[in-house]
Amino acid sequence: MHKPLPETVIQAHHIRVRGLDICPPLLQAPMAGLTHSALRQIVSGFGGVGLLSTEMLLARRLPTENPGMSPYLVRTIGERPLSYQLLVSSEADIGPAVDKLHELGADAVDLNMGCPDWSVGRSGAGFALMENPDNACRLVAAARRRTDLPLTAKVRLGVGLDEPRLKEFCAMLEGEGIDMLSVHARLKKEPFARRPRWEWVARIKEWLHIPVIANGGIFTVEDARKCLKASGADGLMLGRGAVARPWLFAEIAREVYGSDIAAPCVSLPLVYGRFTDLIKELFPPERRLGRLKEFTHHFAGNYPFGHQLSSRIQGSRTMTQAEERAADFFKNNPGDPLRRPEVP
Ligand SMILES: Cc1cc2nc3c(=O)[nH]c(=O)nc-3n(C[C@H](O)[C@H](O)[C@H](O)COP(=O)(O)O)c2cc1C
């Protein structure tokens, strides 16, 4: 059983875990197809993010991936600090995967225990680990033995609201050496449209001694304030809100945490153009259009008629066609973002 290290420090605007400063305590949520180098570079450019994230990475495949070629692993020097999220179900895969993360220069290792997708669950990974605490326990213990990096986990609230079960699970994670816990405050089958249960993060915080991060449904500075009030969380994790608005970290950092960074100056067409340039620079041709479609799905929510942009890009067959259609849309819609993005 590991006790949290004495060096774990939580202050109002700052979390320190095993020597890693997360300042401000604003974390990027791992998102498949979205939290790659292009988005991370844009988010970092605006500032205000305390910890960036990769997409979930298959632990079994990771050791043989080429970091120079893999669209999941490609990164630039400015994308720091960066947490790598593992999707894992077998203890045998932990060691080689964690070793690879050491080679890649990971700043933290996160274990995915929240993904409810059937295809992930059938292999015993993601949320299935919350349904199989014995295996979760073995994986955490194996990862803890293998690394001195900050080791974190991301969970949901459970299948149903079962407080004793959730408490036991979270306490097990802490006992086995998890340094920080992110909580997507929804149940397994609850859709993203449902209001997140931030008040449950407050309960989890009462049970644990490690930093607890609240995730789910933060799209504006006001949401961040409400979430902090309801959850008392040590930090916030932003997903879709900071895809639609990569400058949301900077806004929350300034207005909620008082960070001394420049107010974001946003031109929607420029942000979109920069994203397009980066994916062309970073990804092989066959990977580009898919990434652009994923991003556009969220980014289009900044416009009152964003579905027009979204459906034109979704229907594009080539990158060139997508770029032409986007240019055409922006010619007629240069405007300011909506106060709150439409959530797709
Ligand atoms: C497209 C998409 C991909 C996601 N991929 C992952 C993932 O790889 N790992 C993970 O732990 N959660 C994943 N999530 C969940 C997010 O990390 C986050 O918990 C969820 O979107 C709620 O936060 P939000 O309301 O701020 O978006 C994904 C969510 C979306 C929408």
Which residues line ligand 1 at a C-beta cut-off of 6 Å? 29-34, 55-56, 85, 112, 114-115, 154, 184, 215-218, 238-241
Q: How far apart are CA 15 and CA 11, in angstroms?
A: 6
> Is 115 an annotated catalytic residue?
yes
Instruction: Print pLDDT tens along the chain (344 aa).
Output: 555 544 566 566 789 999 999 999 999 999 999 999 999 999 999 999 999 999 999 999 999 999 988 999 999 999 999 999 999 999 999 999 999 999 999 999 999 999 999 999 999 999 999 999 999 999 999 999 999 999 999 999 999 999 999 999 999 999 999 999 999 999 999 999 999 999 999 999 999 999 999 999 999 999 999 999 999 999 999 999 999 999 999 999 999 999 999 999 999 999 999 999 999 999 999 999 999 999 999 999 999 889 999 999 999 999 999 999 999 999 988 777 888 888 87
Q: How far apart are CA 145 and CA 147, in angstroms?
A: 6
**Residue 56 CA, ligand 1 centroid: distance in Å:** 10
142 contacts 129 by C-beta, under 8 angstroms: no
Task: Tell the burial category of 221 from Cβ atoms under 10 Å away from its Cβ (0-12, 13-18, 19+).
Answer: middle
Apex 342 CA angle, 337 and 344, nearest 5: 130
What one-character DSSP code corresponds to residue 50?
S
The pLDDT value recorded for residue 266 is: 93
Q: Per the confidence metrics, is the pTM higher than 0.75?
A: yes
What one-character DSSP code corresponds to residue 7?
T
**Residue 43 CA, ligand 1 centroid: distance in Å:** 16
43 contacts 237 by C-beta, under 8 angstroms: no
